[in-house]
Amino acid sequence: MLSVNPHSDSRYLSLLRSPDEAVSHIKSGETIVYGMNICQPPALLGAIADHVSAHKLKDVNIYTFLPREHAQSTVLSPNLCDQITHHSWFTGEADRMMTRYGLSYHVPSYLHQIPRLCRDFMEIDTVVTTVSPMDKSGFFSFGTGNDYISTATRYGKKVILEVNQNMPRVFGDSQIHISDIDGIVECNMPLLELVSPGEKPEDAIIGPMIAGMIPDEATIQLGIGGLPNAVTRSLINHSNLGIHTELFTEGMVNLIDKGVITGKKKNLHQHKHIFTTAAGTKHMYDFMNDNPSIESYPASYVCSPAVIAKNDTMISINSILEVDLLGQANAEYLSGSLFSGTGGQLDFVRGAFDSKGGRSILAFYSTAKGRTISKIVPRLKEGSAITTPRQDIHYLVTEYGITNMKGKDTRQRALAIIDLAHPSFRDALLREADMMGII
């Protein structure tokens, strides 16, 4: 790693502050954007929360994407919600309950458009995020995050970086120079980890089924969750796959290690593994660190459907929560409450379909809660969300099979979707389809 002793650099020392000092320039009424997921800066978020608690700050607007533990224990504290208005482009476990009770607010957005929101539709006063240590040329790396935060730092009025020696140094368009920042704090807390969920029995069916739809030399995108991870376990005998993905995951690291993913046949960034955000374990972060084959770029590039489509045989694999008989997919609402967000799902659904030889795959388990609830429903409920419209759906997959929605009429679609349902729900779904006048 091209690191230096930062404490011997006069520029670095002149910007080095305690967390309390670093946030003292933030004024009441300002708008703050902080790094998503792994890039949440715990020391800075804690200092902001302390200033609000001490009545040094009030009426603060804060924006992020997929807040996690560090935010939950600081700026998302219910005790501060009268002075901090928290906005999330993608809701996570940390703010689901807050959002349900109107204490945090969701901003519906396609991931590829969020950098533009930061550039053209917001006046950002302060940006705070975690970065890697400075290299000998004076550059810090955004590490596991690029997404919107790289754009926000370029258009925010003030930029405060939380330097963490555990954050990997990543190549691509992932650097910010010391001359472009206004403050530095140091915090070497271990990075948050995202451990893969346990394997379900259905994964052993769905994983190989989807892997069989992926030809050698394809470029892949995998979303978050157990099903995409199950697919990586089933790709071990493939060859010369490439990565152009919203999320870089642990399963991809294993396939790179095994020589399955090489990037040799990609149209864009040949031999490079392209992502915009990453989450995994320390093993993955160590693998990413100073690895010239791994590059990150802003979401406005990585998740742009037009860019995605430039990769031949682009295969997009994402999870959904439910689908209705019209073919509308919901990946955001669960039991009438916001569960996540749009993220990059529709970006990759559209980009993959427009790719030469590309496919978009939406996978889900057919049931939930011990097979008592069907995840195929007659119509999405009022108050739910359509993440992927029926016009965009390509392939749907459950443990009961695969169906291609493209070119089917409403009757054919409904019957094909019912075939993906658990057998105990099929008769009821057929009756509902009949009452809806679509079969």
Of 125, 153, 186, the one marking the end of a domain is 186
Concatenating the DSSP letter of every residue in 166-191 gives: TSPP-EES-EEEGGG-SEEEE--PPP
Q: Is the pLDDT of residue 381 over 60?
A: yes
Which residues lie across from 401 on neighbouring strands?
398
pLDDT at 226 over 90: no
Domain assignment present for residue 422? The answer is: yes
CATH number for the domain harbouring residue 309: 3.40.1080.20
pLDDT surpassing 60 at residue 1: no
Alpha carbon distance 439, 437 (integer Å): 6
Same domain membership, residue 417 and residue 327: yes
Per DSSP, 56 falls in state S
> CA-CA distance, 314 to 432, in Å (whole number)?
36
Average pLDDT over residues 47-70: 97
> Quick check: is 191 in a domain?
no
Rounded CA separation 125/152 (Å):
10
pLDDT of residue 7: 83
User: Phi and psi dihedrals of 272, rounded to 5?
Assistant: -110, 145
Mean pLDDT over each residue of the chain, to the nearest integer: 96
Mean predicted confidence (pLDDT) in 281-299: 98
Which of 162, 246, 332, 432 is the catalytic position? 246
**Residue owning tokens 């970006």:** 347
Handedness of CA 401, 404, 408, 414 (dihedral sign): positive
Residue 1 lies in a domain: no
pLDDT per residue over 240-250, tens digit each? 999 999 999 99
| Residue 3 pLDDT class (50, 70, 90 cuts) | low
Same domain, 309 and 397: yes
Note whether residue 196 is domain-resident. Answer: no
Q: Which of 269, 277, 363 is nearest to 316 (CA)?
A: 363
3-state helix, strand, coil in the chain (%, to 5): 30, 25, 45
Distance CA 435, CA 414 (A): 12
- Is 148 in the same domain as 23? yes
Token pair of 413, please?
A: 């679609």
Q: Which helix (H) or strand (E) holds 85?
A: strand 84-88
Range 7-15 average pLDDT: 92
Confidence of residue 229 (pLDDT cuts 50, 70, 90): confident
Say yes or no: 208 and 144 in one domain: no
- In angstroms, the CA 416 to CA 244 distance is 30
Looking at the domain assignment, is residue 192 inside a domain?
Answer: no
Q: What is the mean pLDDT of residues 119-129?
A: 98
59 confidence band (pLDDT: 50, 70, 90): very high
Q: Whose CA is closest to 273, among 254, 258, 292, 259?
A: 292
- Which residue range is the domain that position 162 belongs to? 6-186
Backbone φ and ψ for 296, nearest 5 degrees, come out as -120, 150
Contact 129, 162 (CB under 8 A): yes
> Is 195 within the bounds of a domain?
no
Question: Do 380 and 261 share a domain, yes or no?
Answer: yes
> Is the CB of residue 42 less than 8 Å from the CB of residue 173?
no
- 335, 401: one domain: yes
Order of all β-strands in the sheet with 60-64: 104-106, 84-88, 60-64, 31-34, 126-131, 158-163, 183-186
- 170 & 234 share domain: no
User: What is the per-residue pLDDT across 152-196, written as a single tens digit (0 to 9) for each?
Assistant: 999 999 999 999 999 999 999 999 999 999 999 999 999 999 887
Give tens-digit pLDDT for 362-378: 999 999 999 999 999 99
Nearest to 362 by CA among 333, 341, 390: 390
**Whether residues 307 and 215 fall in one domain:** yes
Same domain for 404 and 268:
yes
Give the per-residue pLDDT at 53. 98
pLDDT surpassing 70 at residue 2: no
- Please state the domain count of the chain: 2
Which DSSP string corresponds to 262-297? --TT-SSSTT-EEEEEE---HHHHHHHTT-TTEEE-
123 catalytic? Reply is: no
Mean pLDDT of 188-216: 93
